[in-house]
Amino acid sequence: MNKRLNTALILLVISAGLIGFYFWHKNSSKVAVMVTITDKGFEPDNIVIEKGTRVVFKNMDTKSHWPASNLHPTHGIYPEFDPQKAIDPGEVWSFVFKKKGVWRYHDHLYPQTVGSIEVL
């Protein structure tokens, strides 16, 4: 009887772990994509990702930058895609894209610097 109880407990723990992993994985973002910010702009400046993918913006320049959704200066097309402040040299900011579409963006501090992210 003790052996049956142990087996049942082991199966219960494994089942709970699998169910927990399923819900964690379902709600977590997909693999991250890196966009570096340099004195030349966003690299790469155009990417295609799946819905739920995290895009990490890393500032590799000596100046601060502020990636944000168009239109400049309001960022109103996808307002959640806006760190609300500049990213200093060496810092990162990330965003999980939850809406499908082509999202054009710019550097709020240098609006001539642009890019786009297509979310499938």
Read off the pLDDT of residues 57-92 as tens digits, 9 standing for 90 and up: 999 999 999 999 999 999 999 999 999 999 999 999
Q: Which residues contact 63 (CB under 8 A, 6 or more apart)?
A: 39, 89, 109
Q: Please give, one letter per residue, the 3-state secondary structure of the chain.
A: CHHHHHHHHHHHHHHHHHHHHHHHHHHCCEEEEEEEEECCEEECCEEEECCCEEEEEEECCCCCECEEECCCCCCCCCCCCCCCCCECCCCEEEEECCCCEEEEEEECCEEEEEEEEEEC
On the question of pLDDT at 7 being above 80, the answer is no
Predicted structure pTM score? 0.75
pLDDT of residue 42: 98
The token pair that represents 9 in the structure block:
């407990």
